[in-house]
Amino acid sequence: MQQMIIKNIRFLMQIDESGRRRVCGEEMKRVSSLEDAYLVIRDGKIAAYGKMDDYRFDETEYQIIDATGRFVFPAFCDSHTHIVYAASRESEFVDKINGLSYVEIAERGGGILNSAKRLHDTPEEELCKQAMCRVRECMGFGTGALEIKSGYGLSLEDELKMLRVIRRIKEEAGIAVRSTFLAAHAIPAEYKANPDGYVDLIVKEMIPIVGKEDLADYIDVFCDEGFFTVPQTERILEEGAKYGLIPKIHANELALSGGIQVGVRHGALSVDHLEHTGDAEIEELLQSETMPALLPGAAFFLGMNYPPARKMIDAGLSVALASDYNPGSSPSGNMKFVMSLAAIKMKMLPEEILNAVTLNGAYAMGLEKEYGSITVGKKASVVITKPMPSFAYFMYAYTSDLVEHVLF
Ligand code: NIG
Ligand code: FE
């Protein structure tokens, strides 16, 4: 049996024995913590924790980590990434500096279509190597669970190639990985005049194979202005449901697209982005079990308005935060930076942010029973920080590398 103790922890944060699956509204302001604490880990799971005053262990039986001055909290649950891609897109970054918008770049064949071309030309082995490298980078930043989408294939063959790469990452990464089928990410050039023809291909050919071969946990559609319409999204989600593929939707990034409503109607686990969210959408979400997942890295990188996180939480919603790591709108998987953006740009409080990147992130990928809180029996997937004066400092010192150690 492998046994470990982390002792002298300045604050052990996000303790939860209530069994709740997510944290909503006002509750998001509260994080249960122990000062001057220890944490016992057995066979990779949380076995016990307590105050150092009650510390009575025979240390010869344990591997000991001394966390004097340090904070320990659950590793980040990043519920939205596009980490499998073939090449970076910094030339579009320069186009943006020169004044082109994300949509204008997409219309010229850049954007997602550019990534699809590069992915088509890249062997599976090479894709896997590059993606694993990014996964390891995220793990070093403190991420302990990750969702990864397809969506740069846009053909049966290349979507399956991406999903196989994600399956390999699941097997090899050493952290929890969930995979999402996102063929409906953009309309391929050959279907420009016939977008419904591409939806037919997704519904009639791709989904049955992905479903039968069990290649994805979830299904996603970029339901937004200029991408997929609400009726197209419904067709895709209805077909996905036949194979048990629960929706996680790209919604309302570019406009009030109806994406939130269609996601909620189809029992989406999460609706993501939400830069354009009004009162009607908030009302709809309040009546649902769907997690709003906000991606401030994309708003930062593309210079968009941020989603109204404050309004959502104040209305009683739960909110998750994710990186959206991808080559076009958010080329970073650094959850600590996402947390700083949430504080600085969306006025979320440090405790709200910790709830959003741990338990609520885990919920947004169906992992809340094993991840997202310090709970006896859950995976000991935890971050140990460098010495810090307070938890707020973690977001305040927004470029400092404050993650000292991550246990998976
Ligand atoms: O979540 N918005 C749609 N998809 C991605 C961007 C993909 C890309 O530009 O390559 C996103 O931001
Ligand atoms: Fe995305």
Render pLDDT for 69-119 as a digit per residue (tens, 0 to 9): 999 999 999 999 999 999 999 999 999 999 999 889 988 888 999 999 999
Nearest to 219 by CA among 189, 196, 244, 190: 244
Give 235-245 pLDDT, tens digit per residue: 999 999 999 99
Q: How far is ligand 1, taken at its centre, from the CA of residue 173, in Å?
A: 23
- pLDDT value of position 267: 98
- pLDDT value of position 273: 98
Q: How far is ligand 2, taken at its centre, from the CA of residue 118, in Å?
A: 18
Question: pTM for this structure?
Answer: 0.98
Residue 43, φ and ψ in degrees, nearest 5: 45, 45
Q: Which two tokens stand for residue 213?
A: 């071969």
Ligand nearest to the CA of 275: 1
Give 191-219 pLDDT, tens digit per residue: 999 999 999 999 999 999 999 999 999 99
Q: How far is ligand 2, taken at its centre, from the CA of residue 148, in Å?
A: 10
Helices (H), 201-334: 207-212, 230-241, 259-265, 279-286, 296-302, 309-314
288-293 mean pLDDT? 98
- If one residue of 250, 274, 295 were mutated to test the ligand 1 pocket, choosing by the most ligand atoms within 8 A of its CB, it would be 250
pLDDT at residue 358 is higher than 90: yes
- The answer, yes or no, to whether any atom of ligand 1 lies below 6 A from the CB of 298, is yes
Q: How far is ligand 2, taken at its centre, from the CA of residue 80, in Å?
A: 6
Q: For ligand 2, a single-atom ion, which residues have Cβ within 5 Å?
A: 324
- What is the residue-averaged pLDDT of the chain? 97
pLDDT bucket at 122, cuts 50 / 70 / 90: very high
- The answer, yes or no, to whether any atom of ligand 1 lies below 6 A from the CB of 333, is no
Q: How far is ligand 2, taken at its centre, from the CA of residue 119, in Å?
A: 17
- The answer, yes or no, to whether any atom of ligand 1 lies below 6 A from the CB of 258, is no
- The answer, yes or no, to whether any atom of ligand 1 lies below 6 A from the CB of 329, is yes
Instruction: Name the strands in the sheet holding 291-294, side by side, starting at the edge strand that comes first in the sequence.
Output: 76-78, 143-149, 176-184, 218-223, 246-251, 270-273, 291-294, 320-321
Q: How far apart are CA 314 and CA 342, in angstroms?
A: 15
